[in-house]
Amino acid sequence: MEYSKEDLIEAKRQILGGRENMGTEESKKIWEKNAQFWDNAMGDESNEFHREVVRPKVTELLSPNPADYILDIACGNGNYSSYLAQRGASIVAFDYSKKMIELAKRRQSQYAKQIEFCVADATNRESILELKRNRAFTKAVSNMAIMDITDIEPLLMAVYELLEESGIFVFATQHPCFITLTEKYMTPHSYYGIAIEGQPEEQIYYHRSIQDIFNLCFRAGFVIDGFYEECFKNNKEIPMVMIVRLKKVKRDSLK
């Protein structure tokens, strides 16, 4: 089943919950305040959760190599960009927090020849398309950011345009079935919460069901050809993260 444009507009309205301060600008202000704390907490190697749960399967599905030109979406302090650079790839990495990009440039300065850090808004298709360079991206990646983005449809549409034919987009996000602070699953909504204990400000999470996320992927022109659900530490039955590999196909082939 593919959602109509009206269905998607209604879903977006419900994600914002009718509250103006739950939108992109409020979220950006929060991340500006959290940027220094986040950079300190994630460091050069990221934290245990990212190293053990997120990074292994993301990297497996992404399969980075020295020939790759990769778009790193919502890159934070750039530690996954540097991980890719160590494997020989070239990267354009972006975040909507100017402070975060400043910190990323400083922390990853040794990889300046391989990583171009930019400020761009993942909810704005034109902002993302401005990242187009003289070659198409072979791959795109997003680590634990989809649930932080107000509206992911412009992102998916833009990434589709920026990727080469048959290019792939791998994203990891908190598992919407199991990791939420509310009792709603089917209804899109937003709520405040924390990712790392001690962060200065609660961030805004935007909940979408798996079918909502996947239908937006299909609508953009992607098919899914890789999928993992990952648990953390001793809880082996409730996955905290889902990791998805999308592949760009001709949109006509999806009709």
pLDDT at 18 over 70: no
Answer whether residue 144 is part of any domain: yes
Answer whether residue 178 is part of any domain: yes
CA-closest candidate to residue 104, choices 56, 152, 46, 58: 46
Answer whether residue 3 is part of any domain: no
98-149 pLDDT tens trace: 999 999 999 999 999 999 999 999 999 999 999 999 999 999 999 999 999 9
Answer whether residue 202 is part of any domain: yes
List the structure tokens of 48.
Answer: 């245990």
Domain hosting residue 207, numbered range:
27-246
Answer whether residue 188 is part of any domain: yes
Q: The whole model's pTM is what?
A: 0.89
CA distances from 95 to 41, 49, 225 (A): 17, 21, 26
Answer whether residue 64 is part of any domain: yes
Please name the amino acid found at residue 173.
Answer: T
211-253 pLDDT tens trace: 999 999 999 999 999 999 999 988 899 999 999 999 999 877 6
Answer whether residue 13 is part of any domain: no
177-199 pLDDT tens trace: 998 777 889 999 999 999 999 99
CA-closest candidate to residue 244, choices 145, 170, 148: 170
Split into its structural domains, the chain has a count of 1
| DSSP string for the chain | ----HHHHHHHHHHHHTT-GGGSHHHHHHHHHHHHHHHHHHHTTT--HHIIIIIHHHHHHHH---TT-EEEEES-TTSHHHHHHHHTT-EEEEEES-HHHHHHHHHHTGGGTTTEEEEE--TT-HHHHHTT--SS-EEEEEEES-GGG-S--HHHHHHHHHHEEEEEEEEEEEE-TTT--SSS-SSS-EEEEE-SSTT-SSPEEEEE--HHHHHHHHHHHTEEEEEEEEE-BTTB-SS-SEEEEEEEE--GGGG-
Residue 152 CB: number of other CB atoms within 10 A? 27
Answer whether residue 51 is part of any domain: yes
CA distance linking residue 86 with residue 65, whole number of Å:
10
Domain of 184, CATH number, reads 3.40.50.150
pLDDT on residue 2? 53
CA distance linking residue 253 with residue 126, whole number of Å:
25
